[in-house]
Structure formats: structure tokens, C-alpha cells
Amino acid sequence: MKKVILMIKISDDIKNMNWVHGFVCDIYGRMRTLTFPPKTLINEGERGIGIDGSSIKGFAEIEDSDILGIPELDKSIILPTRKEVLIPLQTHRADGSRLPTDPRNVIFNVEESLKSAGFVPHIRPEMEFFVFGKDEDPLNIHNPQGSMYFLPPSFDNIAEYRSELASTLRRIGIGVRYHHHENAYGQIEIELPFTEGALRTGDYILVHKYLSRMVARNYDFRVTYMPKPIPNEAGSGMHMHMYLENNGKNAFYDENDELGLSQTARYFIGGILEHIRSFTAITNPTVNSYKRLAGGLEAPAYIAWGNRNRSALLRVPAGKSNPDVEIRNPDPSANPYLAEAVIFASGLDGIKKKIEPPAPVEENIYHMSASKRKRQGIGKLPMNLGDAVEELQSDEVVKRALGPIYDVFVSIKQEEWYRFIGNTSPWEIERYFDV
């Protein structure tokens, strides 16, 4: 196989940095960094910087662990206040082939499939997360105010932090559509603008998480992307708005359709609804994810789509001339690259197979009786990680999208589930000790 060589041209901005953080993403969706001076890019960048793949969860076994990371300089993100730069590393095996167990390479492959079909993906993620003071215990927080949605800065003790983080994102070129206090105590939403390319969007999500924690240090805050840290409060999602571009135009738009949706958009929705139970383990990958999905409080757990209907799992927001599809079940504990990969692979499968979705649901699904939902064919997502992993193993489209990382993911998540169900919680002791 022909070895991949990328010519390294280093800008003066990068040459003047103190440090370069080359980053990859492990199977859990966590950024991992290798830090070196800019000179290393010149000396080793073209052939790739050596990495021990066996030390990054999911990448490689110890007997075949030598991988190469080639800096993607066109995706550099300069942190001027720290004189540091973040650069994603494109990982390769020694023979020059892309490392198939790298989540960034997984979405790269799916994005290539989209391009072969004539499409360019555009994604707008909504980043929800919690911020706590250093001594605050999420399990002991009592919130007498109820919903804190759109809490104004004069009542919001994390408003200054939120504004600084949003300003930092704008300065480094990621951009912010808006930000606000969310429903729960200490909960924030920062919505990023539409970005062309799923790989690039995944990078932005990872950098957002990185910066949210770096800025939090200045305030003595702790940040968590755990979906449901506070019992009986709303959980955090990572809703994704998306559309496909074809020949420079929004392929989801049809001016003659009453909802403004093209047939391509409807097939895309049909594909997602067809596969969504199977890929829930990817978009909602932790035991805690299902505390959000199964915990009421208008959790997006019902498999249906609607026009502007927030009780549906997929919705088409208002704005007929430039429509997008919002998928509402993913949460921020998901690996962003893998989540995008399974969503777009499912949507593309719907387009290729012409999978018609059911009729849109335009009433509040949360207020429907169970019998009415059954009559209308509205199912539910898996309600725990064990069931979700079992569903994942039944879908060949999702398996193909994940490639070799599928087996690693299933093994890790099965062990995680078995450890959870084998653990005895304080709640169980309190409730059952005297039975």
C-alpha cells in the first residue's frame, strides 16, 4: 500500500507558539493530547509523529501498537491567550493506511460515502452541560426555583463564566449562535453555528469540551458532560441539527412541499427512524444516559418525527426556505465522531433504499396514552445500556459504518453494563435491607 505523505507548511502563527497539542480522540470521546514544540512539526510532521496506540483506549493492541499521527495543519486551532495551538492528528498504521479504530477515521469514511453520493453534510450541535462549584455535590442539590431556563445574568452565578467561554470560542474561530442558562441548576447551553463537514464539527465539539474545562479553572468551577448528574432535574442533551448539501444547495429543501421538505430529506428521516434503536448505544453510550431518556421531564425517547414538534425524537424546525432535521436523543457523553457516523450512515441508507418515514406526528406525544402511541406505531428507544448494546448487534448498516471499532465498543460497553448491574447502590440498601 502506498504510504501517505502530507507536505507540512507551518505558518508564522504556529511557529510563534510555545507549544503544540496534537490531539486524537479515544473510543469514549475524550480528547488525548501529545505536546511538543513547533519545531517537531518541521522535523517529524511529514512522516508522522510516533504514538503508542495501545495506551489509547480502543486504538490498538500492545503487539501491534506503533501508529503515526500526521498533523492536520489546516484544522489548527490557535489559543492566542496561552500561545498554544491544538492540531488534530490523522492516525495511520505503519503501512500508511488510516487507523480504522480511530473515531476520526470512522467519520472520515462515512463522510467519503456521503461525498460519493453527491452530498456534503452540515451540522449544528447544541452543547448542554453542567457547571458546579468545587464543593457542590450534585446529589445534594435542592433547586426550589424550578425551571431556570433563560435565567438572566443578574440571577445567574455562572453567567460570567458562560460569556467568557462563548467569547473564547468566537475568538478562535469556532463561533457561537447563542448561549443561555438551561432548565436545571448550573446547566448551560451553547449552540454552535452550522459547520460544513462532520469531521470538522466533531473537532469543534471536542475543542468546546476542552475549553469549557480550561476556562472553568479560572472560576474554581467543575464541568461535567454527564447526561443526568442531578436526580429529578432535566438532563443534558447534544441535539444535532443537520442537512445535506448537493451542488451548493440544501438538498433537504423543496419549495413545493407543504413542510418545505424534499423527498431526499424524507428518505433521510426514514433511514434514521429505521436504525435509531440500533445506534442508541452510540449516541447515548453510558449507564447514566438512560437516566435522562427514561426519566421523564420531556426526554426525547419516542420514535417519531414532527414539524416543529419538540415531543418527537426528530423534528423539522421552523424555517421553510432552509430546512434542517434535528435529532434530539444524543447526549454529550457520546463520542461525537461515532455519533455523527451512525446518524449519517443511517440517513444515507434511507436515501439509497428510499425508506419512507411514517406520517409526521403533530400532537404532544408525552400526553398520549400508551395505547394511542401503540396504535400510531410510535415506539421507544432502549431504556438501558444493556438493551441498547443488544440492539446495536442486530444492525448491519450501523456495524459497517463503525468498522473494526464496533467489536471494541461492544466489548467495552458490555463490561460496563455488567459491572453496573453487579453493583449494589445506597438506594438499594435503603429500600431493601429489611425486606
pLDDT tens-digit series, residues 50-87: 999 999 988 988 877 889 999 999 999 998 777 899 99
Query: What's residue 323's pLDDT?
Result: 94
List CB contacts of 402: < 8 A, sequence separation 6 or more: 106, 282, 338, 341, 342, 409
CA–CA separation, 114 vs 288, rounded Å?
32
Torsion angle of C-alpha atoms 365, 367, 369, 373, degrees rounded to 10: -10
CATH 3.30.590.10 fits 109-428, yes or no: yes
Domain regions of the chain by residue span: 12-95, 109-428
Query: What's residue 3's pLDDT?
Result: 37
Q: What is the CATH number of domain 12-95?
A: 3.10.20.70
Query: What's residue 297's pLDDT?
Result: 64
Q: Which residues, listed in sequence order, are joined to residue 305 by a DSSP beta bridge?
A: 314
CA–CA separation, 68 vs 150, rounded Å?
46
- 10 Å Cβ neighbour count for 239? 20
pTM of the complete model: 0.94
Residue 207, CA distances (Å) to 155, 162, 395 in order = 28, 15, 31
What is the distance in angstroms between the CA of the first residue and the CA of the last residue of the chain?
65
CA–CA separation, 347 vs 341, rounded Å?
10
Query: What's residue 324's pLDDT?
Result: 95
CA–CA separation, 224 vs 128, rounded Å?
10
Backbone φ and ψ for 14, nearest 5 degrees, come out as -75, -40
CA–CA separation, 262 vs 252, rounded Å?
5
87 close to 35: Cβ distance less than 8 angstroms: no
Query: What's residue 286's pLDDT?
Result: 97
Residues of the chain with pLDDT under 70: 1-10, 45, 295-297
The vertex-104 CA angle with 98 and 109, nearest 5°, equals 65
Q: For residue 396, count CB atoms less than 10 angstroms from its CB and return exposed for 0-12, middle for 13-18, buried for 19 or more.
A: exposed
Query: What's residue 161's pLDDT?
Result: 97
344 close to 112: Cβ distance less than 8 angstroms: no
Q: 63 is written with which cell numbers? A: 503487539
Q: 314 is written with which cell numbers? A: 426528530
CA contacts within 13 A on the Cβ side of 296: 4
Backbone φ and ψ for 342, nearest 5 degrees, come out as -75, -35
CA–CA separation, 234 vs 242, rounded Å?
24
Query: What's residue 406's pLDDT?
Result: 97
346 close to 276: Cβ distance less than 8 angstroms: yes
Query: What's residue 64's pLDDT?
Result: 77
Q: Which of 291, 431, 402, 356 has the alpha carbon at shortest distance from 27?
A: 402
List CB contacts of 181: < 8 A, sequence separation 6 or more: 148, 149, 150, 151, 156, 158, 159, 162, 187, 188, 189
